[in-house]
A = this chain, B = another copy of it.
Amino acid sequence: MEFFKKKRIFLDHASATPVLKEARLAMEKYFTDEFYNPSAIYAEGVKARRDLGAFREKVARHLHAGAKDIVFTSGGTESDNLAILGTFEKAAESVLLPHLVISELEHPAILEAAEEVKRRGGDYTIVRADEEGIIRPEKIEKAITKDTVLVSVSMAAGSIGVVQPISKIGRLIREARKKNNSSYPYFHTDATAAANYASLNVDALSVDLLTLDGAKMYAPKGSGVLVVRPGIELSPMIVGGGQERGLRAGTENLPSIAGFAAAFDVAVRDREKESLRLLALRNKLLAAVQNIKGSFVIGSPDNLLPNVLAVSFPGQISEFLAISLDQKGICVSAGAACQSQNDSTDDLALRFSLGRSTTEKDIENTITALKEIVMRA
């Protein structure tokens, strides 16, 4: 196709990332030479099982978790669903009307799972963000009832990139548990958008359940993790073979898991350097956007992921702006914040999400293109 010949600028890393070379190399042998089933009893199966264990330990180390806490899934959506529905189904054995507390900024995988909980006889409360896009811990505290079995707040919503006070929320939930002498509520965070840039120490964060999605971490699509801390009890969603401690049945996808572990290694290795590099580029884009008359930046810049900028231009339809940018060779996402009901983020936003491929030249060209389009519109 014509447009693939010209260099395109990809600023939608929050929606997809290419697979790193390190990840592809790690996967290769498991497609062909070592394709064996980790459940098989012969030597090749034993080797596959051992490799699987090594990947599990590697991933666990990056999270300061135990190897047993790592449940490999088919991706972020499945991990989110398992956290929500798995907690609900298990809790329904002992709690009459299990209740969830969910932030309004959550991914549809969480919001729709909460709806499914309602359909199955539970209930949930949505907590709104303040005008800076922050979910205030006090509001979470107020929303918790005696029947609350799970609180779910993303580390940073991919849609707007505002980093949430996860460890504060985590601590207050632990206090609520102690006070009520209950094992509930659990605390789940979706770390998908934050994973490349934030430290993911599950102890420091005081989280019980944490979602990772390989497709946003330069690992293969179809790879993901749900961290399930000791003592946290879930019912499985997918049954029939007992894999992943009985929490996720199906032959383990060893090539994909190998790729995920390799990409996670690189993410952790480059986290600081890449965060600083992207922060500088993003801030350059931010400054230019703030100079465009009528622009409205979502969230306080001090509080954003280093690679995300969500901006609306009231009176202009961001989907049209995205299409115009596409025609100028720039890939961005539109309407990512549309699920928000909060006044401050009610407009559809144009989301720029930077990543490994992003250069200073990309940002300069994007600024030029954006100015032309917005001024003309």
* Chain A interfacial positions (CB closer than 8 Å to B): 1, 3, 8, 10, 12, 15-19, 24, 31-33, 35-37, 39-45, 47, 74-78, 80-81, 107-113, 115-116, 215, 220-222, 237-242, 249-256, 319, 322-323, 325-326, 331-334
Contacts and interface: CB of A to CB of B under 8 A. Distances in A.
Contacts of A116: 239
A74 B221 contact: no
B250 A75 contact: yes
B36 A16 contact: yes
Which among A16, A75, A78, A325 has the highest number of chain B CB atoms within 10 Å?
A16
B251 A75 contact: yes
A42 B326 CA distance: 6
A25 B328 CA distance: 31
Given A3-B43, A75-B251, A334-B41, A109 B15 contact: no
B221 A251 contact: yes
Given A40-B331, A42-B332, A256-B222, A16 B239 contact: no
B8 A250 contact: no
Contacts of A249: 77, 81, 108-109, 112
8 contacts: A16-B36, A18-B32, A36-B331, A41-B319, A116-B239, A221-B251, A221-B252, A222-B222
A34 B35 CA distance: 25
Q: Give 10 closest A-B pairs by Cβ, nearest first.
A: A109-B240, A77-B250, A74-B74, A222-B253, A42-B326, A19-B31, A16-B37, A112-B239, A108-B240, A18-B35
Given A32-B24, A112-B239, A250 B41 contact: no
Most B Cβ at <10 Å: residue of A74, A107, A255: A74
Contacts of A331: 36, 40, 42-45
Given A31-B18, A215-B251, A41 B326 contact: yes
Nearest to A35: B18
Contacts of A8: 44
Contacts of A222: 74, 222, 253, 255-256
Contacts of A45: 331
Contacts of A322: 41-42
B109 A241 contact: yes
Given A74-B74, A116-B239, A215-B251, 15 more contacts: A1-B43, A1-B47, A8-B44, A10-B44, A12-B42, A18-B33, A43-B326, A74-B250, A77-B251, A78-B250, A81-B240, A107-B240, A108-B241, A109-B239, A112-B249
B43 A16 contact: no
Contacts of A326: 41-43
A295 to B, nearest CB: 21
A289 to B, nearest CB: 19
A256 B323 contact: no
A238 B221 CA distance: 16
Contacts of A215: 251
A301 to B, nearest CB: 26
Contacts of A31: 18-19, 24, 220
Nearest to A252: B221
A19 B35 contact: yes
Nearest to A237: B237
A239 B42 contact: no
B43 A238 contact: no
A50 to B, nearest CB: 10
A317 to B, nearest CB: 12
A242 B109 CA distance: 10
A212 to B, nearest CB: 14
